[in-house]
A and B are shown apart, each in its own frame.
Chain A
Amino acid sequence: MAWTRKDLVSMQDIEAAEISDLLDTAESMKEIATREIKKVPTLRGKTVVNLFYENSTRTRTSFEIAGKWLSADVINFSASGSSAEKGESFLDTARNIEAMSPDVVVVRHKAAGGPALLARHLKCSVVNAGDGAHEHPTQALLDLLTIREKKGHLEGLNVTIVGDITHSRVARSNIYGMRKMGMTVTVAGPPTLIPPACQEMGVKVSHRLEEAIAHADVIMMLRLQHERMTGGFIPSLREYSRVWGLGLDRLQHCRPDVLIMHPGPVNRGVEISPEVADSPYSVILDQVTNGVAVRMAVLYLLAGGKAA
């Protein structure tokens, strides 16, 4: 089906056919990364603005590389040291940037709904690069691409997401996306870090790691989002790591073809042991590679064919 959306704000909004389309496009984009000269002229003359109100290295760099490989001009704007510090509102800053005629604004904001607000007010395309604990759609898409690539399909797979579900936009976007693609999702973690309304999203909940990962085709480990935690969610890091960390001992009870994923940044020795992170089961770096391809696909679909 043809892509007709102006923005990519959430996985909740988009349909399974659109996800498949996006993944197919991203798969084609991967070839460009293997070239000696990594550049195609597709988005020549288009401008992509990275508007980041929260720290990011992976996602911002990934969008920047994706834009540059497609020949777009990519401008990075980070809130620190900008007019945002001088008291300008979010919307005013965005409107000022829009006055410079960008084609796509990639936005990360600590407030859930920030990108959706911009999408409503700006005429250019808006991509959500993470909004608070709400959604991070391109991360979910690159996870789906990685799984599809390794497993050959998505439908029917069992995925277990482990850790801080409450504060994770990655978990939320993945749950929406995976459910739409016909996958079974189990979330596992201490009760304090599993949102009570989780079952309404169509996932199973488990409070025992061994049980949750025994039959999983894919295990996705999440980082504790200390920056979003407002109270005492866990007794201590050491205790958390002992109960919820994935080490080689626990990996032995998993399926022999299990994939271990992590959206990064990895806290080695907390949620995942270094041996597991570097094991052949781990596809953590494939996720990063696929991130560029997915973002190229997103930029292409949003800016590439827009009516002039």
Chain B
Amino acid sequence: MSVREKAEVLDAAGLDRALTRIGHEIVEQAGGADLALVGIKTRGETLARRIADKIEGIEGWRPAVGALDITLYRDDLGSRAEQPQVRSTEIPFPLKGITVVLVDDVLFTGRTIRAAMDALMDLGRPRVIRLAVLIDRGHRELPIRPDYIGKNLPTSRKETVAVMLKEHDGQDRVVIQEPEETESSGAQAGREAAARPRRTLRKGREE
């Protein structure tokens, strides 16, 4: 299914401002002690590094940064036609007793975050886990709430949110996309969305 861009939500400057603000909020709440940012692969890892840069700029010290691959913890492994690629988890510091801020690009159903929390717990026992997301697009299926939000973005289920980052996509911007279909009315589209098997972990773009 082809998609078309519906609207730009953040440009490069807006995205940078959002990360700066998240950096400030994290420092304000966590103080200095034992803070680590753990990004969920792939774009969450990049965002975690950028937020760490911001904190270093503000505070003069840099929090530890790790990367988490949640593939082995997904709840939809048995129901997908093909297996998602397993990437490596790189958390080269002990989690015990520290404050971990999970970082992801788009918060949607919450299932990725559930998997990420299970993955973290298997690696150690952090004192606190908090959640930072660039975009919260709603439609939660689990009782999960972010602590730091770049932008709240009400969306419909059939839309997708694409977070593009220089490191992966050559540019910094966030856009809403919708499927390319012309004639369907709103009510019909709603029924289609309900009938369609839910792809629960789909958030920004398919990897």
From known contacts A40-B72, A41-B118, infer whether A31 and B80 are also in contact, taking CB-CB under 8 Å: no
B88 (CB) vs chain A CBs: closest residue = A28
Which B59-97 residues have a C-beta within 8 angstroms of A?
69, 72-73, 77-90
Q: Which of B78, B81, B86, B118 contacts A25 (CB 8 A)?
A: B86
Residues of chain A within 8 A of B89, CB atoms compared: 28, 31
Are A305 and B122 neighbours in the complex by a CB distance under 8 Å? no
In the complex, per-residue mask of A265-305: 1 if CB is within 8 Å of any chain B CB, else 0:
00000000000000000000000000000000100110011
CA distance A70 to B78 in the complex (A): 14
* Smallest beta-carbon distance B113→chain A, Å: 16
Residues of chain A within 8 A of B12, CB atoms compared: none
* Smallest beta-carbon distance B93→chain A, Å: 13
From known contacts A31-B88, A31-B89, A305-B77, infer whether A39 and B122 are also in contact, taking CB-CB under 8 Å: yes
A297 (CB) vs chain B CBs: closest residue = B86
Residues of chain B within 8 A of A36, CB atoms compared: 124
Residues of chain B within 8 A of A306, CB atoms compared: 78
Interface of B is mostly: loop
A21 (CB) vs chain B CBs: closest residue = B85
Q: B128 near A: Cβ within 8 Å?
A: no
Residues of chain A within 8 A of B77, CB atoms compared: 42, 304-305
From known contacts A307-B79, A308-B78, infer whether A40 and B85 are also in contact, taking CB-CB under 8 Å: no
CA distance A308 to B80 in the complex (A): 8
Residues of chain B within 8 A of A305, CB atoms compared: 77-78, 80-84
CA distance A70 to B73 in the complex (A): 10
Q: Which of B72, B80, B81, B88 contacts A41 (CB 8 A)?
A: B72
CA distance A300 to B89 in the complex (A): 16
Residues of chain A within 8 A of B30, CB atoms compared: none
Residues of chain B within 8 A of A3, CB atoms compared: 82-83
Are B83 and A300 neighbours in the complex by a CB distance under 8 Å? yes
Q: B7 near A: Cβ within 8 Å?
A: no
Residues of B at the A interface (CB closer than 8 Å) are 69, 72-73, 77-90, 118-119, 122-124
| 16 residue pairs bridging A and B, Cβ less than 8 Å apart | A2-B82, A24-B86, A25-B85, A27-B88, A31-B89, A32-B72, A300-B83, A301-B83, A304-B83, A305-B77, A305-B80, A305-B81, A305-B83, A306-B78, A307-B81, A308-B78
